[in-house]
Amino acid sequence: DTEVTQTPKHLVMGMTNKKSLKCEQHMGHRAMYWYKQKAKKPPELMFVYSYEKLSINESVPSRFSPECPNSSLLNLHLHALQPEDSALYLCASSQDYRLGEQYFGPGTRLTVT
Amino acid sequence: AQSVTQLGSHVSVSEGALVLLRCNYSSSVPPYLFWYVQYPNQGLQLLLKYTTGATLVKGINGFEAEFKKSETSFHLTKPSAHMSDAAEYFCAVITASGNTPLVFGKGTRLSVIA
């Protein structure tokens, strides 16, 4: 099973709202990733967790707050977002950080109004 | 720093024709190379990967790619295009030493004409 699940599939939120995106994998992978993807662009890396520790934060604004409660779960907490944050947010996992292929979830389509 | 160049942001082929999507990489150390496909409003799906060993790699949906070190290329091919192949394709690379994150090319949109 190479499935990464993400919820919700779609999310519309106002600039003052607080919401969370969730990601789950049961492949025993020890690295998990958040990407942001704008239309007609490749995914941009936001955060990397390796063995449940934050390894990389690609200078992401503090209105995005990641959390890794356990080795199977990854959350992205959203607060006070801007309209330009509207995008497809993708979660991925891999056996180990930077080695091995990454498996992606279906994404959450986020619209900030 | 390593990079990936995908030649052609948009490729259009007729149904049944050969599909060729080009990818060149720059890496001073041995690379691991990947092709991903993304259908509209979906996540990325791994098509195939090259790590070590055989340079001709077969993937899902009839796609294959050949790693050519002398040309620093990893082009994706499929002998006969199907309408369902219409999607965005991304080439990606990491170094075998693991000291860089996954780097994506800009993507190539494949259209298949009936």
pLDDT in tens, B30-63: 789 999 999 998 999 999 999 888 899 999 999 9
pLDDT, tens only, A44-75: 999 999 999 998 888 899 999 999 999 999 99
Q: Are A12 and A20 in contact (CB under 8 A)?
A: no
H, E, C per residue of chain A = CCCEEEECCEEEECCCCEEEEEEEECCCCCEEEEEEECCCCCCEEEEEEECCEEEEECCCCCCEEEEEEECCEEEEEEECCCHHHCEEEEEEEECECCECCCEECCCEEEEEC
The nearest CA of chain A is from the CA of B8 a distance in Å of 13
Segments in chain B below pLDDT 50: none
Cα distance from B16 to chain A (closest Cα, Å)?
A: 26
Residues of B in contact with A43 (CB under 8 A): 44, 104
Asked if A1 has any chain B CB less than 8 Å from its own CB, the reply is no
CA distance A63 to chain B (A): 23
With an 8 Å Cβ cutoff, is B46 touching chain A? yes
The per-residue pLDDT for B20 is: 98
pLDDT of residue B52: 84
Residues of chain A with pLDDT under 70: 1-2
pLDDT at A46: 95
Mean pLDDT computed over every residue of chain B: 92
CB-based contact (8 Å) between A46 and chain B?
Answer: no
